[in-house]
Chain A
Amino acid sequence: MADIAMSQSKPLTRSVIWTLALGWLAVTLLPLAFVVFTSLKSQQDTFDSPVWALPSHVDWSHYADILHSGFFTYLRNSLFVVGLSVTLIIIVSAMAAYALARLKFRLNKPLFALIVAGMIVPLHITLVPIYLMTKAFGVYDSPFALIGPYVATSLPVSIFILTEFMRQIPRELEEAAELDGCGPFTIFRKLFLPLSGPGIATVAIYNGIALWNEFIFAYVLTSSPGNRTLPLALWDFQGEYSSNIPAMLAVVTLTSLPLIVAYAFGQERIVKGMMAGSLKG
């Protein structure tokens, strides 16, 4: 009886799964398709054709205009700020996680609890103090203004993920390394860092995506186009092309492109990293 029920329910289950999967694919893919197709339409074409129609002819002129009006400066700033921030986040959070996961010292647990509590601090209440500090340090309106806040706000979740990850590394490995003559720093560098690869990938991906799309700090702490990051490109170009929908969507496409390319190349690693994070965290 149970076998019959199973064999009858299987095709049904499969079709439900397929329907949900296709539905979800449509939800994620259609807006992207709409953005890309519309960005390739001429402005006239946008007004004349239905919303979901394909371009009557491919018009690259919006892309050319945007690329010639400072887009690469935004891109360069984003790559610099996100690259440096993520590198610092990984170094600092990995070292902190190792200490919290393995070293015995007073206040280890309260310190971990305090760091984790940092995750619940709303970003917006820190804006004014950070703005004032940035001014005071003389880095306002420079890419460096963003690195400090980006690293600081990303550390609690990164330390949380990596601490939990490193707690899973068998203690015997550490003890074997101790007997082999390693001190805590060598154990961290030669053992914990390489063995935390999936956890570090999770932290890098999670923060990379979040910081790539970060708007509010970039908006408050930078003002001139030469120092702003890609999310601000959308903001700045919005003023310039507010009535030119295809041009606006070309900016959206170009802003998303680096993440899409990164995902296409590193898909397997990204999924593994996310899974590892979800299981260990």
Chain B
Amino acid sequence: MTHIALNAVHKTYGGGAQVIRDVDLDIGAGEFCVFLGPSGCGKSTLLRMIAGLEAITAGELHIGGVHMNDVPPAHREVAMVFQNYALYPHMSLYENMAFGLRQAKVENLEIERRVQEAAKILQINHLLDRLPKALSGGQRQRVAIGRAIVRKPKVFLFDEPLSNLDAALRVHMRTEIARLHHEFNSASAVYVTHDQTEAMALADKIVLLRAGEDMLVHGSVAQIGSPMDLYHRPRDLFVAGFLGSPRMNFLPATVQASGPAGVTLQLDGRADGELLRLAPGIVAPATGSRVTLGIRPEHLLPGEADGSAAITRRVRQVEHFGEYSYVYLDGPEGEEDLIAKVIGHSPARPGDNETFTIPSTQCHLFDATGFALPRVQA
């Protein structure tokens, strides 16, 4: 059982460009950890530092309690699945899978046994004599996973392994990877993706990373937690906006009143001062302070419920998907439209004024610096 620990890890390239800043992270034994974030946030770099393919500029990496900063990749007992498969094009699938074992001087009989076993699990045992070029994308990805499995590593590293596959195959391979992780659950897995669906579906733990200026100010890690933690309890506006599709709606507002009875907000952009009264549940912000109200599209409920806050907006567009509809509403001035996800077929039509209830329990409040105001423990 292998535990991975990163302590105050930094990565700066030769020219002085910092891509990773101050990462503290513990990945438990057998845990499936997903690095998620926008392009350029350094998620692949962080994975490659664990693999030993990138040097760590500062900080410490321990795998299984052993200090690994200067240990060569081959001695870290990790196996990696690359985005473009990285299969050796001149070797048969058998040789591709056996190559690492041959380098480790494993006996031929044992190599044969392990390759056949992995091929059976991945259902590629009839393809072992072929060259990689004779395979489809999905089959190549299986071989790449097989190559990792046969080495019986303590840590599996996946670098956007599904991004070259079509949508249907991606879903299929995602479930395969989840199944394999359960079969080999003594090994930890670190998985890089920019696809939040993959992250939510696979992860025991998500590490959401920041990019650019935010990274330099606040550090690389935006939030670490279970998928549901990040989804329901985002730490700041970035996390709230990154997870969820369509993304969370944000309504800038000023606190009009705040007390044990709840919070009253005056939304921006309305001369008549549209007021929202939220029931208690969130730590009360100071009266007069600037806040941002966050509400996910699926939590905007059509119609007006007694005693609940509600907003009325002009409908700009409606998209029907059968199972649900997206209703696009006029957003705050200069901001993006608000989106409501309505179950089933929404009767709303462009140009109509529609009222949506905002349940207080589903609201998120962020202070002027963008950090979430904590919820009151019940």
A residues apposed to B, CB below 8 Å: 170, 172-173, 175-182, 186, 190-191, 194-195
Contacts and interface: CB of A to CB of B under 8 A. Distances in A.
The 10 closest A-B pairs by CB, nearest first: A180-B100, A181-B103, A181-B74, A172-B86, A176-B86, A172-B82, A194-B90, A179-B73, A178-B73, A175-B53
B84 A170 contact: yes
25 contacts: A170-B84, A170-B86, A173-B86, A175-B53, A175-B86, A176-B82, A176-B86, A177-B99, A178-B72, A178-B73, A178-B74, A179-B52, A179-B73, A179-B74, A179-B79, A179-B100, A180-B74, A180-B99, A180-B100, A180-B151, A181-B104, A191-B88, A194-B90, A195-B89, A195-B90
Contacts of A182: 74, 103
A156 B346 CA distance: 71
Contacts, number: 54
A175 B99 CA distance: 13
Given A175-B53, A191-B88, A181 B82 contact: no
Interface of B: 51-53, 72-74, 78-80, 82-84, 86-90, 99-100, 103-104, 147, 151
A122 B39 CA distance: 50
B53 A178 contact: yes
**Residue from A180, A191, A195 having most chain B Cβ neighbours under 10 A:** A180
A173 B99 CA distance: 12
Contacts of A172: 82-84, 86
Contacts of A180: 74, 99-100, 103, 151
A176 B103 CA distance: 12
Contacts of A186: 103
A179 B81 CA distance: 10
B262 to A, nearest CB: 55
Contacts of B73: 175, 178-179
B248 to A, nearest CB: 36
A105 B281 CA distance: 60
Contacts of B82: 172, 175-176
A257 to B, nearest CB: 34
Given A179-B74, A179-B80, A181-B74, A173 B103 contact: no
Nearest to B85: A172
B35 to A, nearest CB: 18
**Residue from B87, B88, B151 having most chain A Cβ neighbours under 10 A:** B88
Nearest to A186: B103
Nearest to B48: A175
A187 to B, nearest CB: 11
A190 B91 CA distance: 10
Contacts of A195: 89-90
Contacts of A173: 86, 88-89
Contacts of A194: 90
A103 to B, nearest CB: 15
A133 to B, nearest CB: 41
Contacts of B103: 180-182, 186
Contact of B100 (A170, A175, A181, A191): A181
A163 to B, nearest CB: 20
B347 to A, nearest CB: 51
A77 to B, nearest CB: 36
